[in-house]
Amino acid sequence: MNSLINRQAMHGYLYIHGTSSHPAARVALATNRTYVLHPLPSSTAQITSLRQQTQLVPSPVTRTGTCRPMAAAAAAAAVAVLVVAALAATLAAAGDDDPRAACARRPVVFAFGDSNTDTGGVAAGMGYYYPLPEGRAFFRRATGRLCDGRLVIDYLCESLNMSYLSPYLEALGSDFTGGANFAISGSATLPRSAPFSLHVQVQQFLHFKQRSFELVAHGGSAPVDADGFRNALYLIDIGQNDLSAAFGSGAPYDDIVHLKIPAFIPEIKDAIMTLYYNGAKNFWVHGTGPLGCLPQKLAAPRADDGDLDSSGCLKTLNNGAYEFNNKLCAACDELRSQLRGATIVYTDVLLVKYDLVANHSAYGFEEPLMACCGYGGPPYNYNANVSCLGPGFRVCEDGARFVSWDGVHYTDAANAVVAAKILSGEFSTPKLPFDYFCKA
């Protein structure tokens, strides 16, 4: 792919401009000028030099406890724009047979979670139909995703140069050779027996694996073989619905932190352990995002703006998300020491997404807290009675200017940036590349 480097510093930020339709261009920090590839910094000195050129709004939620010391979190936020710019080159290379994107073996990914990862599971399982404008920015058709285009998981698959994950529940047209997606919109960790909780999703995976082995044992073929299951990456991204319901219940903050969250985390630990004892060894676990920055939460009636932080987000909800993530990170640390031979990577999605809101203009976004698709107009364009696709809804002309698609889920453009920051490894513990599982 031909590329042109056009780097420009302005207003204290480092910009890389672009208009290409290539996935890498979607990660560009500004979206209306000539795009180009910026090489990854190859040394600590280069990174230090780049960091000195860049100043970002510090995140008030970077206090991530023992899992990520404050200094490390602040440093990660300070170099975030540069990392995303550099990762644009990596995503571009993934489509051009670059050796950096080549896995030593075929990548296989199994995903578990909620609507942030659901690529059509709830549509297949419940018979729901999400017409345009859902999917308009990329697929240009209904796909069952609650987004105008790709989700973070889609961009992560692109980085591996593999096909998008098919929903496990989709009976027609599915391709499970690269894994399967068990994530279902609306899912939570509790209650564990409810469709489609994390526990149920793991049980569905075990059924999928057992049936695969049965097919092979009877002389047939299966999309994933024993080596595929053993070396696959198991990605878990869940908890937002649990936390949302907890705050929506009206429970005191202390009860949420000390009673409810401690009940959610064991479910994620149990899922990891169940998968591990059934042969899994590579795990990628996402923390939850900044709940207090969602237009859905911001549009709810409040007595005053005393709970809003400098970015316009609700501090109480974001502090709850921080507590959830800190406990989840600690659980991953514990499992890392217990499960021999397992690699468990925890990624601080709260820091990733909050930085996107706090420094939205640095990434080329104009509306960090207003939904593109919804009802009610500024400041949040969200109405609980008229959701996106609901009677009388309104949709913006250019979703690439918005961080939020429908008040709860992110736009294709925002997901591109989030994915690039995840791929940087700067927000993960331990700091491993996303493709580590298919290169060893």
pLDDT of residue 84: 52
pLDDT of residue 345: 98
pLDDT of residue 332: 98
Beta pairing class for 343-347 and 428-429: antiparallel
Handedness of CA 245, 251, 256, 259 (dihedral sign): negative
- C-alpha distances (whole Å) from 394 to each of 37, 128, 375, 386, 397 are 35, 20, 6, 9, 10
Would you write out the chain's pLDDT as a tens digit for each of its 440 residues?
332 222 222 222 223 333 333 344 445 443 332 223 333 333 444 433 433 433 445 455 444 445 755 444 445 455 455 545 555 554 444 444 544 456 899 999 999 999 999 999 999 999 999 999 999 999 999 999 999 999 999 999 999 999 999 999 999 999 999 999 999 999 999 999 999 999 999 999 999 999 999 999 999 999 999 999 999 999 999 999 999 999 999 999 999 999 999 999 999 999 999 999 999 999 999 999 999 999 999 999 999 999 999 999 999 999 999 999 999 999 999 999 999 999 999 999 999 999 999 999 999 999 999 999 999 999 999 999 999 999 999 999 999 999 999 999 999 999 999 999 999 999 999 999 999 999 86
Give me the active site residues, please: 115, 406, 409
Q: What is the pTM of this model?
A: 0.84
- State how far the Cα of 36 lies from the Cα of 45, in Å rounded to an integer: 23
Cα–chain center distance at 307: 26
pLDDT of residue 360: 97
- Sequence-distant (6+) residues with CB within 8 A of 127 are none
pLDDT of residue 321: 98
Beta pairing class for 394-395 and 373-374: antiparallel
Query: What dihedral angle (degrees, nearest 10) is formed by the CA atoms of 85, 89, 95, 101?
Result: -110
pLDDT of residue 94: 46
